[in-house]
Chain A
Amino acid sequence: QSVLTQPPSVSGAPGQRVTISCAGSSSNIGAGYDVHWYQQLPGTAPKLLIYGNTNRPSWVPDRFSGSKSGTSASLAITGLQPDDEADYYCQSYDNSLSGSRVFGPGTKVIVL
C-alpha cells in the first residue's frame, strides 16, 4: 500500500485537459518535501516530467504543469495528445520511513 495516493486512471479526448492528483500526509508532502512527477511510456524506463513541484526539465513541453498545496500535489496535462498515453507517478520523501523516497501507485492516462 502506497504512502502517496493517486487515481488508477484518468481519461480524456485529444485536446482536452486532464489532471492527476497525488495525496500525501504530514510526513511527506505536508512536511514540505518536494513532489516530482515521472512519465513511463509502455515498455520504457521512467522519465522525469516535473521536479520541485512545478518545474519542467528542458525536454518537457509546457502542456505539462505541476502544483502543490498542503498535503497534496497535482499534475495537469493540457492539449492531450495520443502520445501522452502512459503511466504517471508522483514521488516525494517521507520522514516517517527510514531514508525513504516514496512513489505513488501510478495513474494510467487513457486518450480516448
Chain B
Amino acid sequence: EVQLVESGGGVGQPGRSLRLSCAASGFIFDDYDMHWVRQAPGKGLEWVSGISWNSGRTGYADSVKGRFTISRDNAKNSLFLQMNSLRAEDTAFYYCAKAGTKNWYADFDYWGQGALVTVSS
C-alpha cells in the first residue's frame, strides 16, 4: 500500500524558515517524480514544486521560486521542501504527491494527508 506521510508543519514567522518532510513507502521511491501541492484554507489547489526521480530536474511555481527548495533522499525514501523567507500567503496545507509515471507531465496518483503551515507573527 502506497503511503505518503508529511511532517514538519507548524507555525512560522514571516521571513523565517520551515522544512517539510514526506516519508514514502509501499512503492519503489526512486522510480517516480515527486511533487508538493498546497491548498490555502478554503481555497483551491496550487502546485508548488516538483522533482524528477533522480533529482536531475526540478520545477517551481513563480510564487515560491527563489524562496523554496525541493530535494529528495532516495536512500531514505524521503522528499523535502525547504521554505525560506516565509510570507503570510504561504499559509496552507502542503500535500506530498507521487507522480503516476516517470513522465514529467504525469498526474499525481497518490497524495499524503497534508501538513498545515501557518505563517504568522
User: Which residues of A line the B interface, CB within 8 A?
Assistant: 2, 33-34, 36, 38, 40, 45-48, 51-52, 57, 89, 91, 93, 97-106
Contacts and interface: CB of A to CB of B under 8 A. Distances in A.
A93 B111 CA distance: 18
A110 to B, nearest CB: 17
Contacts of A2: 44
Q: Is the contact region of chain B dominated by helix, strand, or loop, or is it mixed? A: strand
B59 A100 contact: yes
Range of interface residues on chain B?
20 to 34
A47 B97 CA distance: 10
B65 A106 contact: no
B39 to A, nearest CB: 8
Contacts, number: 65
Contact of A103 (B45, B50, B59, B60): B45
A46 B50 CA distance: 17
A83 to B, nearest CB: 19
A70 to B, nearest CB: 18
Contact of A45 (B58, B109, B112): B112
Interface of B: 35, 37, 44-47, 50, 58-62, 65, 95, 100, 105-114
Contact of A34 (B45, B105, B109, B113): B105
Nearest to B105: A93
B50 A45 contact: no
Nearest to A92: B105
A40 B97 CA distance: 14
B108 A100 contact: no
B44 A100 contact: no
